[in-house]
Structures are given as structure tokens and as C-alpha cells.
Structure 1
Amino acid sequence: MGNAEVPVDGEASGGDIQVVARIATLLDCLDPDSPYLDTQITAKALGVGRSTAHRYLVSLEKRGLLRRRDATTYELGPVLSRLGTLALSRLGVLDAAGPVMQELCRAIRNTVVLSVWGGRAPVIARVVPDNSRITTISVEVGRSLPPDAAQSRLFAAYHKLGRGAGRLRTIDDEDLRPVGGLMTARQVYAGGGFKTVAAPILTADGSIVATLAVVGLAVFMPEEEDDVVSEQLVAAVSRIGVS
């Protein structure tokens, strides 16, 4: 008679280890519209009491999977951000874009950011910060972008249009502008403190795979220079080979 496999302590039906299944369920609650967790959300998602939910959050924070945003909410921690970046690095576009981003940052004297599609929203995959000025903008790798971000609107536009630059004029968004056969996007954030100008990185068949963006203080990115910045971005993405 064969030996039966002894269940792992805490193993749920279907072979899942309960704590792993619960953590996966919890992390799946995070998305661009709800990027934070608190005790109430955690308790509801896991079907546990508030005290147990709190212990989950504190434990995940200690291990770096989450980090405390304020007194009651948590967001993705450094461990998950690092793992996400490793996963994204499998895309050849990151390696191809590196030298181009460095050159563009030096030429334009603003931070350059590359984002890829993360399934629900663009995710920041690589950042080349501009350190030429006293005041700089910090951009975090692994962070999802909101729907109104310039990069998000570019992804949405290209996903809607499908392939073919000839149909770019059908998008009704005054901050999306055709430049050099590509669509570019701009965004001035609330209060006018800083802004983003972005361009798509396309595969040979015209599918969008990433966006390249310049992010800086608005005072260093005046509106009258938007066309020049857009042209520099389009020239930069044309040098990034994507298979």
C-alpha cells in the first residue's frame, strides 16, 4: 500500500498553502484605481476579522512586500517593486532603451521615464533622473500610472486605434498630438507644478510596447518648447529597436 502524502500545515483544498493563497488574493486587490490596502479591505478580501487583517498587513510590511503609506493604509513595498522590475526586464525594450534614455536626459536636462503595460495600467520600468539642477523630481520604478497620465492616454489611444499611424487623427484629445508619424501626449499636473511629455515605442508591426516620457518641473518645460521636446522624444524612440 503506497504512502499517502502528508498535507502541508495550513494547506487548503486544491493543494494551495493557505497563507500563500491569502497573500495572492490580497495583492490582487491592488490596481491603479485602488492602489492601497487597509484593514477593512484586507478583512473583506480574506474573510477574516479586523485584528487578523491588521496582523497580515504588519507582517507583509516587515517583509518588504508592503510599506506603510500613512497611519491606516499600505502600498506596494520595495520587494514587490524589485520583483516587478525583474519581470519587466525580460522585455528587450529596457536594455535597448537604456543608452538612448541616458543621452536624451543629458540633452534635455529633465528626467526620462520608460513605462510598459502592466496588464491594467502602464508601470514605470526604468528611470534616468536628471541631476543637473538643484531641484529634481523623484519617479519610482514599479509604480502604476493613473488613467489620466500622458503615458496611460497614449496606451489607451493606440490600443483603441490598433495598428497603423494613418488613423491617428481619429483620437479626440487635445493633449494628443501627431509628431513625425507618431502620437505624442502631454500632461500638466494639478497646480501646474510639473508636466510630462510622452511618445510611444512601437514594434515593427505598429503595436505599442512601451512609452518614453520626459518628466520635469513646468518652469523648465515651457509650453513653447513642447514641440521641440516631442520631436526629441520621437527621434529617441526611433532609435530603440523592438522586436
Structure 2
Amino acid sequence: MTVSRTAPEDQDSDKTRAGIQSVEVGFALLEVLAQAEGPLMLRDLAASAGMSAAKAHRYLVSFQRLGLVVQDNASTRYELGPATLRLGLATLSRLDAVKMARERLPALMEKTGHTLAIAVWGNHGPTLVHWQESPLAVPVNLRLGDVMPMLSSATGRCFAAFIGNGVGADRARAMIEQEMLLARKLGRTDVPTTAAGVRELVEHTRAQGLGQGVNVLLPGLSGFCSPVFDADGQLSLGVVALGSSATLDTQPRGTVAQQLLSMTHQLSADLGWHRA
């Protein structure tokens, strides 16, 4: 009688192709959280992932241990945890545009003397993914993973003006509507509170080629954000320069803004973008 034997390497190959189904099933929960507007109750999270609440809870317990998910003790809602942020930032840092931008920041800092950052469009809006602080910088309460507001930050204004109709445009419009509503409630006069005001801000930002914020995000803090475009002319990321309003040259034709524009124009060209 002939016995058919499978070589060990063939068995390993079969296992690799088969995968681990429970990992794939559990990942559905992470995908739902990544696409959600905010934290979710267990029943809503489970329903969106197409599984029972009991089954979802078992996965969430393991995900909490790994730091992939966190649960608010007061509301009992679930949200993505710090481990997912680290994974996301690591992935983004490997994208060519982000890597190329990071490599050019030291030279830009030498020219400007101010803190620099890189922002990309994330699930919840323009998100800081790299931070390079100047030794002379004033302390700023911002950190990696922070989502910048669309109307009261140089970064948000840059994305509002240049995101076009690509991925994230609908989310950008929704964020702008929410921020206008909040600004009206607070009686703010330093950010647009009407659609006409937003159009004026966007047109002004496009005309000067970069977003600008003077004492609107935080008191005493000013900054610029210049767009970087890919070969298809889509907004790839924004390069940010921040500093004290007392020391940062806040003129759009000033040294900081022009050095920033020069760097981002060159980076866009290196990514294949050709200005019209």
C-alpha cells in the first residue's frame, strides 16, 4: 500500500494560504471603529460588524489587552486604542511622500528656526503624523495623532482649500459645518460662521498658496501649512510651520512662508506634480 505524505514545507504553505479566520473576523470590529464618527456602544459596534454582541465582546476583551481598543468607563463606549495609532503612524511614515517630507524637514528648520510638522488626511480629518520641534520653540499642547480643526488652524484651512473633490471631501464639508455651528454658538469672530465666509477663506488660502492661522488655534500661536500634491494633482499632505506669534514672521510673503512654499513646491515636483 502506498502512503501519500505531504512535505512539511507544503503543509506550511497550506496553512499560510488558509490563514486564521478568527483574526479576519475580529478585524471587522477594528474596521468599523476606524470608519465611525466617534466611540460606539457594544450593540452598535457588533451590529455594524455583522456579529452578535457576545461574540464581539470576546474579541474586544483581547483587543483591549493588546491596546488596539479602549473602553470609556463612564459611557462604556469603545474606541480605537493607542496601538492602532502606532500602527497607523508607522504605516503612514513608510509612504513615499511622508518619508520624503520628513527627510527635508531638518534643512527647512535650519532656514526657518521654527517647529515643523507633517499632516495627512486621516479617518477623522487632517492629522499630525510627524513632529519636529525647534530647540527654541515655545511649548505647544499638540501631539502626534491630533486632528486639526478645519477653520481655526492653518493645517485645517490648507486642507479645506486644497482637498478638492477627492477622498475625504465629504468628511471635510461635514467638519466645516460642525465648526461653523460651534463658532456661532460661541460668538467667535475670528473664524467663518457662514458659507460665504468659508468661501472667502478658501479663496484667500488658494490665492496665497498656503493655509495661515494667527492666534486662532491657540492664543499666542501662529502658523502656516503648505500643501504637497502627488502626480495626479491630489493633495498628499501638508507641511506645517508653527511658532510664537511674537517671533514667527506671519506675513504670507515673509521668510517662513516663502521657505515653506519653496520646499513643498519642490517636493510636489519630485512626486510628479506639474503646476498649471
Partners of 2:106 and 2:91 in 1: CA distance:
22
Aligned to 2:125: 121
Per-residue CA deviation, residues 182-210 of structure 1 (Å, 9 max, x unaligned), is: 62112344563544421111235643221
Aligned to 2:112: 108
- The question of whether the paired residues in 2 share the 8 Å contact of 1:26 and 1:45 is answered with no
Per-residue CA deviation, residues 56-92 of structure 1 (Å, 9 max, x unaligned), is: 5443232021346774455433322232233323422
Aligned to 1:132: 136
Q: Where does 1:167-178 land on structure 2 (aligned, <5 Å)?
A: 172-174=199-201, 177=204
Aligned to 1:91: 95
How many angstroms does 1:18 deviate by?
A: 5.1
Structure index of larger Rg: 2
How many angstroms does 1:242 deviate by?
A: 1.6
Say whether residues 1:61 and 2:64 are aligned partners.
Answer: yes
Q: Is the deviation greater in 35-44 or in 91-100? A: 35-44
Per-residue CA deviation, residues 127-166 of structure 1 (Å, 9 max, x unaligned), is: 212333462444214x55444454344334334389xxxx
Give the number of the structure whose residues are more often strand, by fraction.
Answer: 1
Q: Where does 1:151-170 land on structure 2 (aligned, <5 Å)?
A: 151-160=155-164
User: What is the TM-score with the length of structure 2 in the denominator?
Assistant: 0.59
Count of equivalent residues: 217
Partners of 2:96 and 2:222 in 1: CA distance:
28
State the SS of the aligned residue for 2:271.
coil
Instruction: Look up the equivalent residue of 1:66 and give its one-letter code.
Output: V
User: What is the TM-score with the length of structure 1 in the denominator?
Assistant: 0.65
Say whether residues 1:198 and 2:204 are aligned partners.
Answer: no
- The question of whether the paired residues in 2 share the 8 Å contact of 1:113 and 1:214 is answered with yes
CA 48–106 in structure 1, closer or farther in 2 if over 3 Å, else same = farther
RMSD: 4.0
Q: Where does 1:61-80 land on structure 2 (aligned, <5 Å)?
A: 61-67=64-70, 71=74, 72-80=76-84
How many angstroms does 1:234 deviate by?
A: 0.4
Instruction: Look up the equivalent residue of 2:64 and give its one-letter code.
Output: E
Q: Which blocks of at least 5 consecutive residues in structure 1 are unaligned?
A: 1-14, 163-170
Say whether residues 1:25 and 2:29 are aligned partners.
Answer: yes
State the SS of the aligned residue for 2:212.
strand
- The question of whether the paired residues in 1 share the 8 Å contact of 2:32 and 2:45 is answered with no
Per-residue CA deviation, residues 79-115 of structure 1 (Å, 9 max, x unaligned), is: 2223223332342222321232123334434321112
Aligned to 1:168: none
Of 42, 46, 54, the match for 2:45: 42
Of 248, 253, 258, the match for 1:231: 258
- The question of whether the paired residues in 2 share the 8 Å contact of 1:105 and 1:130 is answered with yes
How many angstroms does 1:125 deviate by?
A: 3.0
Q: Identity over aligned residues, as a percent?
A: 24
- The question of whether the paired residues in 1 share the 8 Å contact of 2:222 and 2:250 is answered with no
Partners of 2:118 and 2:27 in 1: CA distance:
29
Q: Where does 1:181-192 land on structure 2 (aligned, <5 Å)?
A: 183-187=209-213, 188-189=215-216, 192=219
Aligned to 2:271: 242
